[in-house]
């Protein structure tokens, strides 16, 4: 699992209450979530006089070299990026008593929350969501970076949506040398589940995550069966052993083709993120298509 599976219960936490000062000038409002290494608090930043998200290493992680290295890496990556669909970094302190990042707070539910509460999205919502996420991934890949954890819980449904949590993001070169599984089990591409120098992680791994996310948004469930915890013989990565569930027949064929192409078993068979965005554009209404046409560089 990733270092920030934000819907897991707190472990060794700071237990900040409303008004507590997390770091000088930043006061907690409420806990948003957390994972193995981090806690995320909605906070008020006095200097900006605005809401931010304080992502703080847990107390038992502040001396962990790997955790500190990961926080520094995330700060460096986010500090180099500027894209409307990627949550912004406002500040970072990867040392001291409470190593932390200050991130953009985006008002809106996670895609995972919407799917859990209300089920599948309407078809009209899927093309814009897919285009916007694909544009963010294309931007990352153009900057020689990969996210490696694209999933519904890392998408905030705002306008535009935001792709969050780059805690395991890597340069493409470094991702290609990884020799251990990296990501969130149910959303990992085959090459993330079983790393191999002949089939390395890279941009197609993010395209797979986008495909799983869109498949789940269309159907309200994951495309691969989740192993039963009680079965000791259950495969840890069913995506290595079986194809994704087919999409409903009422899904437009062009949309279904794009999603299933993103879930191709072989990385080289998946379309790049830019192609996914372009193939989704015809599914938009005419006004949106005209806006995209005017904005696209000539």
**DSSP letters along 136-179, please?**
HHHHHHHTTEE-----GGGEE-SSS-EE---TT-EEHHHHHT--
Query: Could you tell me the two tokens for 163?
Result: 């792709």
In CATH, what class is 111-295?
mainly alpha
**Residue 280 to residue 288: CA distance in whole angstroms:** 12
Whether the pLDDT of residue 80 is over 90: the answer is yes
* Ranges of each domain in the chain: 21-104, 111-295
CA distances 78 to 27, 103, 127, 278, Å, are: 22, 9, 26, 26
Q: How far apart are the first and last CA of the chain?
A: 41
Lowest mean pLDDT among 26-35, 169-178, 245-254, 286-295: 286-295
In CATH, what class is 21-104?
alpha beta
pTM: 0.88
Query: Could you tell me the two tokens for 38?
Result: 């981090």
- Tens digits of residue pLDDT in 123-173: 889 999 999 999 999 999 999 999 999 999 999 999 999 999 999 999 999
Query: Could you tell me the two tokens for 117?
Result: 């509460």
- Tens digits of residue pLDDT in 95-115: 899 999 999 999 999 999 999
Residue 74: the pLDDT is 95
């Amino acid at each position: 699992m990733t270092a920030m599976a934000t819907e897991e219960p707190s472990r060794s936490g700071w237990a900040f209450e409303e008004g507590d000062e997390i770091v000088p000038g930043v006061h907690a409002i409420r806990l948003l979530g957390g994972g193995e290494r981090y806690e995320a608090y909605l906070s008020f930043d006095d200097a900006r006089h605005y809401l931010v998200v304080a992502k703080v290493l847990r107390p038992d992680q502040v001396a962990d070299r790997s955790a500190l290295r990961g926080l520094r890496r995330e700060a460096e990556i986010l500090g180099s990026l500027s894209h409307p669909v990627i949550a912004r970094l406002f500040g970072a302190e990867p040392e001291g008593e409470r190593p932390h990042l200050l991130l953009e707070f985006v008002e809106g539910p996670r895609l995972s929350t919407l799917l859990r509460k209300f089920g599948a999205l309407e078809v009209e919502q899927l093309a814009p969501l897919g285009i916007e996420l694909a544009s963010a991934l294309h931007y990352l890949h153009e900057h020689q970076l990969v996210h490696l954890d694209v999933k519904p819980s890392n998408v905030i449904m705002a306008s535009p949506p935001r792709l969050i949590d780059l805690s395991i993001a890597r340069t493409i070169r470094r991702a290609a040398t990884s020799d251990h599984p990296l990501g969130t089990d149910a959303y990992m591409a085959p090459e993330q589940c079983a790393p191999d120098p002949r089939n390395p992680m890279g941009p197609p791994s993010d395209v797979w995550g986008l495909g799983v996310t869109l498949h789940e948004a269309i159907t309200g469930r994951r495309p691969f069966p989740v192993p039963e915890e009680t079965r000791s013989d259950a495969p840890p990565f069913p995506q290595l052993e079986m194809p994704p569930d087919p999409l409903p027949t009422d899904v437009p064929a062009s949309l279904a083709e794009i999603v299933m192409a993103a879930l191709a078993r072989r990385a080289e068979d998946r379309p790049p993120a830019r192609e996914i965005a372009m193939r989704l554009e015809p599914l938009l209404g005419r006004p949106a298509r005209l806006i995209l046409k005017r904005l696209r560089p000539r």
